[in-house]
């Protein structure tokens, strides 16, 4: 009978340290990805606001970018851009339109009650024809339609135009 000798290799400390560093790095990356917030998740909107565009603190926004606010059902509001309150046109107030006919919409904020959205498109003849370079401030003043503007709240954000 022959006895087999079991050989034990000594532990290479350099390899052990490198393996530990790689494992720790992987744990840190996975943890970082799991707790990160981006886009709309990083913004704490009031309950009545579902989303806004441009996203708060956006950089490199184009001068002709639309401003869009998606409100919760039952809310309405107005937009204030760089301290100028914009007139709001309710899309449902267009009188007797023939089916298939194009509707001329004034160059103001458009409120669509079915979707509870406010949209402003900078264009010629509008109060704000285009956004100048630099930081722009938008405030949406919003309220429940059944309560009226006297019970309004507001949300303000900025974005940077290139």
Predicted pLDDT at 115: 92
pLDDT at site 39: 57
What pLDDT was estimated at residue 33? 82
So what's the pLDDT on residue 55?
92
> What pLDDT shows up at residue 37?
62
Q: From edge to edge, which strands make up the β-sheet containing 67-71?
A: 49-53, 67-71, 117-120, 109-112, 88-90
Whole-model pTM?
0.72
Distance CA 128, CA 138 (A): 12
pLDDT at residue 146, as a whole number: 93
DSSP 86-152: PPEEEGGG---PPTTPPPPPPSSEEEETTTTEEEE---TTSSS-SPPSEEEEEEEEEEETTT-GGG-
| Residue 21, pLDDT score | 92
Tokens 């009031």 belong to 46
What are 89's strand-pairing partners?
110
Please name each of the domains of the chain with its CATH number.
40-161 (2.60.40.1220)
Using alpha carbons only, how large is the chain's radius of gyration in Å?
A: 28
pLDDT by residue, tens only, the chain of 162 residues? 555 666 777 888 888 898 999 999 999 998 888 777 655 555 688 999 999 999 999 999 999 999 999 999 999 999 999 999 999 999 876 666 677 777 777 889 999 998 999 999 999 989 999 999 999 999 999 999 999 999 999 999 999 999
**Which token pair is 50?**
């579902």
């Amino acid at each position: 009978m022959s006895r087999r000798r079991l050989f034990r290799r000594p532990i290479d400390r350099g390899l052990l340290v490198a393996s530990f560093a790689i494992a720790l790095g992987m744990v840190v990356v996975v943890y970082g990805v799991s707790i990160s917030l981006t886009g709309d998740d990083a913004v704490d909107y009031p309950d009545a606001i579902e989303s806004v565009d441009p996203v708060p603190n956006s950089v490199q926004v184009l001068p002709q970018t639309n401003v869009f606010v998606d409100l919760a059902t039952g809310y309405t509001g107005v937009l204030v851009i760089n301290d100028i309150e914009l007139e709001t046109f309710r899309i449902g107030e267009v009188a007797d339109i023939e089916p298939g006919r194009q509707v001329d919409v004034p160059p103001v904020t458009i409120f669509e009650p079915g979707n509870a959205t406010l949209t402003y498109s900078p264009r010629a003849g509008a109060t704000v024809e285009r956004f100048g370079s630099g930081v722009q401030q938008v405030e949406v003043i919003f309220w429940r339609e059944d309560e009226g503007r006297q019970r309004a709240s507001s949300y303000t954000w900025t974005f940077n135009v290139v």
